[in-house]
Amino acid sequence: MQNKLSLLNRISDELNSDLNPDKMLRRVLDLTVAHLHAATGSVMLFDRDNRVSAYILQQEDVSAEVADRIVGTVLTEGFAGWVLNRGEGGVIFDTYEDDRWVVYDDQPYDVRSAVATPLRRRQHILGVLTVVHAEPNRVSEDDLSLLNAIAGQAAIALENARLFRQTEQERIKLSAIINSTQDAVLVTTPGNRTLLLNPAAQELLGGEDEAVEGVGLPLVELTDNDDLLSLLGSSASTSGEVALPDGRTMWATVTGIPDLGKVAVLRDISSFK
């Protein structure tokens, strides 16, 4: 029991140390195979349509062509496909006596017993984790219970990694939009420290000579413009004119964002004055 807890703790550390799914799962697979004294193992990952999106084979001397054939065969005819379709794990005590295991031509290693389980998150199966032995009857229901616990941890980490990638992609898109707009955009904390200044805002606060960066600084250290400081100092969302020293007039719209601070967008309305 202590060894199992130690393994689960190590796997938890590995899953939390890297958001790269391939590196993360390869290390988890190595630890699991070593703990179970198995011959090798694999992880298949699926997209929302249950198509294979990636796979990791611990057997590194297998060519890409052979690996693709293995994955295709076991998913359509073999044990991994059975696990995916049933949505539950299983144990094969002897592959010679269990038709869930498919033996194909030029198989690079001999398998006599296996255990596999789905990586499930909520109602969606993200993948299948399989560990195999070269001798029969080397697996047990206890091994399946352990694999279920490992798969549960891995599924959470996989979902977190995917959410992080999605969030990062949205952040990059939003950053590109904010940075390309001609309007000045400022984001400040509740204490009026700057969280974000787009290039237009940096130029506006820097005056004619140079732009300023200023992220993290109190707004009063970046500008002494009374109009802007008054608008951003308001406790409610507001709007109004901001007169600049160069003669331009900006229309500022300040919006309060819960748990963040304020977002101010300043548009040049000088031509309408």
- Percent pLDDT > 70 in the chain is 88
User: What is the rounded average pLDDT of the residues 240-259?
Assistant: 91
Task: Give me the residue label for tokens 């300040």.
Answer: 254
pLDDT of residue 211: 46
Q: Which band of pLDDT confidence, cut at 50, 70 and 90, is reported for residue 107?
A: low
User: What is the rounded average pLDDT of the residues 133-157?
Assistant: 94
pLDDT of residue 207: 53
Q: Which band of pLDDT confidence, cut at 50, 70 and 90, is reported for residue 208?
A: very low
- Supply the DSSP symbol for 207: T
Element containing residue 266 per DSSP (H, E):
strand 261-268
User: What is the rounded average pLDDT of the residues 96-123?
Assistant: 85
For residue 11, which amino acid is it? I
Torsion of CA 6, 7, 9, 14, to 10 degrees: 140
Q: Which of 34-43, 74-83, 164-173 has the lowest mean pLDDT?
A: 74-83
Q: Which band of pLDDT confidence, cut at 50, 70 and 90, is reported for residue 60?
A: low
Q: What are phi and psi of 209, to 5 degrees?
A: -80, -50
In terms of C-beta distances under 8 Å and separation of at least 24 residues, what long-range contacts does 65-73 make, across chains too? 66/106, 66/108, 69/104, 70/104, 71/44, 73/102, 73/104
Q: Which band of pLDDT confidence, cut at 50, 70 and 90, is reported for residue 70?
A: low
Q: Which band of pLDDT confidence, cut at 50, 70 and 90, is reported for residue 77?
A: confident
Indicate the average pLDDT of the chain.
86
Q: Which band of pLDDT confidence, cut at 50, 70 and 90, is reported for residue 17?
A: confident
Q: Which of 63-77, 190-204, 235-249 has the lowest mean pLDDT?
A: 63-77
Torsion of CA 202, 207, 210, 216, to 10 degrees: -40
Q: Look at residue 114 and tell me whether its pLDDT is greater than 60.
A: yes
Task: Report which of 127, 160, 144, 161 is spatially closest to residue 32, judged by C-alpha positions.
Answer: 144
User: What is the rounded average pLDDT of the residues 168-194?
Assistant: 89
d(CA 120, CA 86): 12
Identify the residue with better confidence: 123 or 240. 240
Q: Look at residue 141 and tell me whether its pLDDT is greater than 90.
A: yes
Could you report how far apart the first and last alpha carbons of the chain are, in Å? 78
The structure tokens listed for 241 are 């004119």
d(CA 33, CA 188): 50
pLDDT of residue 271: 87
Q: Look at residue 46 and tell me whether its pLDDT is greater than 90.
A: no
10 Å CB burial of residue 136 (0-12, 13-18, 19+) is middle
Q: Which band of pLDDT confidence, cut at 50, 70 and 90, is reported for residue 153?
A: very high
Q: Which of 67-81, 154-168, 247-261 has the lowest mean pLDDT?
A: 67-81
Q: Look at residue 47 and tell me whether its pLDDT is greater than 70.
A: yes
Q: Look at residue 73 and tell me whether its pLDDT is greater than 70.
A: no
Task: Report which of 169, 167, 220 is spatially closest to residue 193, judged by C-alpha positions.
Answer: 220
